Amino acid sequence: MTKEDNSLTHIAIIMDGNGRWAAKRGLPRSFGHKKGAETVKEITRAAGEAGIRFLTLYAFSTENWQRSPEEVSTLMGLLRQYLKTDLQELRKNNVRIRFIGERDMLDADIVAAMEKLEAETAVNDGLTLCIALSYGSRQEIVNAAKKAAALVQKGDMSVEDIDVKLFSDMLYTKDIPDPDLLIRTSGEQRLSNYLLWQLAYTEFYFTPTFWPDFNKNELTDIINDFKTRERRYGKV
């Protein structure tokens, strides 16, 4: 693929650095999470304005359940607030929302609000905002393998029927294209169990900026950097 052929349809982001942003200012970690939630709104708007069709945000991993009960409670409270108050803005901006992850680990009221938000934005045809919540990529892949094994066991398909396309269709992201670009904030350079299957040919960009300080201007700069890259997909 030449530089001129570079199309940017899907951006995935690991939103990292909320706690360190707060610590640098002598504030509780909860302040960083609240400021980070504001950044989510700004970047969602900016991505839509830039013509991005899919934006996937790593909001809460399955490993994050190991954090202190106080921090988990703060994060779940912010999530409840987002689910209740942001529907009007999502509708206004023609955003469709999707959630991926282990819903059975979440409280029933949160799951109900998630499903309501998905249903009420399903007709929107602008940006699709996909939020990875209680998400772990290894478990996602294990779940897909179990689905395939169950179908083979039932006789609905054979082992020979399993290929990349079929397996991809068993993932949470089955109707979402793979990310073209992954951004991770805060200077860390690892995937942290995020979209391991889907990121096979994704371009990576690591920024030292903490997520609460990430903004539209930096997103624009990263998009422009992406456009200079040559994606070969294993070809010469």
Between CA 73 and CA 56 the distance in angstroms is 23
Q: Domain residues of the chain, as ranges?
A: 3-136+178-227
Q: What is the pLDDT of residue 236?
A: 61
pTM of the model: 0.93
pLDDT at 164 over 50: yes
In this prediction, residues 156-169 reach a mean pLDDT of 96
| Known catalytic membership, residue 18 | no
H helices of the chain, where?
18-24, 29-49, 69-85, 87-92, 108-120, 137-154, 164-168, 216-227
Give the chain's mean pLDDT. Answer: 93
Hey, which residues does 50 pair with through a beta bridge? none
| Known catalytic membership, residue 16 | yes
CATH superfamily of 3-136+178-227: Decaprenyl diphosphate synthase-like (3.40.1180.10)
pLDDT at 87 over 80: no
Sequence-separated (6 or more) residues with CB below 8 Å from residue 195: 12, 56, 132, 137, 173, 179, 182
Percent of the chain, pLDDT > 70? 97
Active-site residue identified among 5, 6, 16, 224 = 16
Query: What is the DSSP secondary structure assignment for residue 58, as one 8-state letter?
Result: E
Active-site residue identified among 6, 64, 143, 193 = 64
Q: Could you report the per-residue pLDDT of 173-203, keeping only the tens digit for each? A: 999 999 999 999 999 999 999 999 999 999 9
